[in-house]
Structure 1
Amino acid sequence: MSDNDGTSRPPDTGALDSPTTGRPPTVADVLALPVLAAGQPQVVTGVTHLDRPVRWVHITELTDPASFLKGGELVLTTGMPLPEDAAGVRRYVDELADIGAAALVIELVRRYHRPPDPLVHACRARDLPLITLAKDVNFLEVTQVVHALILGSQADAMRRTQRIHEAFTALTLRGAGPKDVVRAAAEMSGHTLVLENLVHQALICEPSASTLEEALTGWEQRSRKTPSRDHTEVCGPEGWLVAPVEYQGERWGRVTMLPAPSGASVSEASTTFGPEDVTVLERTAMALTIARLIHSTPWERTAHRSALRDLAEQRHRSPEDARARCAALGLPTEGSDFVALLVDVRSENARAEPEIRLSQELRTAGIPALVGQLAPGRLGILLALRSSQPWRPTVERLSDTALGLVPGAVVSVGSEVTDLADTARSFREAARVAEAAVPGEPLPEGRSFYELSDIGLRRLLYALREDTRVQDYAERQLGRLLDHDTRHGTDLLTTLRHYLDVAGNKTTAARRGNLSRETVYQRLRTIERLLACDLESGEQRTELHVAVTALDVLRAADSS
């Protein structure tokens, strides 16, 4: 240990902007500092514990230095006070280990030129890092540099904590929802965050450096092994950092921060999470409480809506992610068949009652499902049924309930699929069926819902009613006839419709229109002249039939 004679060089502060900024430096960080590296440090014991944080540096030549320590100190000594006997050395080391000293650094210049065996054995027995210095080092300069580094990291940690508080305050003031809060926390911490309810369903997951599949696979079973606490704490076999979300003694769920290395033990996780992570999670829990108070939509409903939209629009990163997310919400994804339903109330101001009632009915019936609003006026339902379970009775029951709540609602269903990854196709089919439902038309016989087989020509053209090509086709085929009826007050279009509806049977067409056959013949000749067509041609009759049907659905759309 060099004497401080007032002429030594200023402390080396080059490491103050090192990667240790924002956290206490570790033993390894301190050994890498130039001021200590000059002493050619050698780690004799405790090489696996060099990640211990150094909270202070203590120079001592006392035989009982532990009485002046509080834990976390890097102890510097020349070895002069070490007891001569092995028992005394063990006592010396035991006291340092019991108080929680970070490491013992001994200079091999004056009393010793190699570490005494009793010291090595004692340090090894207590997992206390023992570092030797082969060259003379200015211990006072070491304390100045390391203390500057520690204070700098503390100041930086305070600044970072302040930024965390400011970020969450901004989230709260702008009324951020739970998903925004959890996403912001994941970005701040660099860890995966999961919000779950009281029955261990993962409602929101924001992965960081992992996938949804990695984070959520087997979620309920893993979560039940992790006990709930009354305060933020690392617990469970995987070492999750967990914080309760509650208000005035009523607990709503908990938010979990997962350790970066998958499958880390509790002891490893306790070093993975720092004070800033605890601050982030506690502020996340607080922001989620406020979000729940100011947003009336329950978390479960929001989670179902989000999952359904991602399934319907195929926004998942992979099929595995989709299965893990839905399974974490309680939907069985293996050994199930899936059917997508849409309930269109055709009003952007629709109440939430259908969503609530249909969810309750499915729970009562014991049928796993996701239920949620996909768009204003449109409710989506994904049923997960056992392979042997027919879907029609369930869909009929839901349709009756929906129509009882909202008369005039349209319930459409897609095809049954066996893989969750194919549910987007079932939703697309249900959407096509819904688009083809003509307002005011009676429901299919014996059913209160629509399916793909119900889309005939009329409903197909209704679904395509906004396509200008359909509009142009109807006008090109019938425009001259419509103009004639308008100018002369005739109704040749009705005669043509009757004629086409009965496949060209003039007698039946005359009876439908309460006309004589001669009158029908005359009108049909006028129609042929105006449209320059041959009504005896099957192809031309088909073209006209499509045009008349298109015109009818276009007029129905205008009046609806």
Structure 2
Amino acid sequence: MTPTLAALVDRPDLGLLVRAGAEHLDRPVQWVHTSELADPTAFLEGGELLLTTGLWVRTGAADYVRRLHAAGVAGLGFGTGLTCATVPKAVIAQAEALGLPVIEVPRQVPFIAISKAVAKAVAAEEYAAVTRAYQAQRALTSAAVRADGVTAVVRQLARRLDGWAVLLDPRGTVRAGDSPVLGQLRSELPRLQPGPASLTFELEGAEIAVQTLGVGRRIRGYLAVGRGARLTRADQQVLTTAASLLTVGFEQSQVVEAATRRLRGGVLRLLLAGETELAAEIAAELWGDLPAAPVRVALASGPSRQRLAAVEQAGDAFHAPYEDSLLLVVGADAELAFTGLHVGVSDPGEYAALAQALRQASRALATAVRAELPVVRFSELADDGVLRLVDPEVAGIFADRLLAPLVEHDATGRGELIASLRAWLAHNGQWDPAAAALGVHRHTLRHRIAKVGQLLGRDLDSADTRAELWLALRLRD
């Protein structure tokens, strides 16, 4: 710790005597300065123990003491036995009134002895701080190379600073450590954007320091620490070391992840190109054996966090990025329901048919996204008919446009062309069954269907026309 006036007074070898401000001896002494000027404040920075023999006494003791107090000195050391036999009463009275410690330095005690004592204490403190910082940096470096490096670094940082430490991702979610003021801390994070930046502020009686993590202006996360006492310069160095280690770890992780994605993408391209043996050999060397055939291809779409969770849940499945989705090659019986994702699944097949399976999974995924379903298997599309393959919005436009003349006609109350057309098509153009289903005479039905053809400008004897009309009616339903 920085030496205090009390520590100097307690040294028997110095023989110092307190003459005023005894209740303020806990003030730290940053340095010792000697001056006989009547106004030495221009040469002071604050925190000094000013030593003098009192050559200035005749110029006004009270004003002199007031100037020293305003300059923020830690105390006044008055050497007696030279200019003055004792410390002047005016000095003691004014110092006592202001709360400024005054220490008598006897004639036999040289000023240099006090300077040396303070200098040694300051040097010892700086050495201790450097030693603590060095030990902390070594401990943080050792923690960074552990398997749980991120968590270990944050935990070690909290221990070394004797406070709390927390690591947040760019969205403010806790990745490691903890903080008693998480809510308030998150509210301060926008002040650090776009980064890089650091921030120190007080909150609920604690000093909190936050640093952004990342290279350049891209923020990978935030490292925050807090404790009741202020952070020293050595503490700030320890915090900076931890931030640097975590940044390096993040950047290395990003590089490794990017390289891994490229490797998996390359293996996928080999599989789609039919190079199954080579792809299997590379995959086995890097990640383990490919799933045994028959296999399915699954495409999962959704937030990146849920996609990462799906990879962990899929276990031994081969996975690779594919466009904006996650591709999984899994066993035929694998469970493929993932929280927060839409998944399209192909039919089972051999690796030689993987490209076809990918097309099936893509179509199933498109349907899952449109219908807001968690999982759609390609086999279900065929079971449910062609309508499930059609985009609802596009289909609605097609149906409304094609049938618009009939809808407008029916709205006038002059007939039921839509219902008549539906019944006629449902009975394969047979007049009597269709008319019976509608409860009208077949001649009435013939007249209505003729009106349909006239309004639409279509040949209703054409199979293509009938198919389009039937599809429009189904879509409209």
Q: TM-score, normalised by structure 1?
A: 0.42
* Structure label with greater radius of gyration: 2
The structure showing larger relative contact order (alpha-carbon pairs under 8 Å, at least 6 residues apart) is: 1
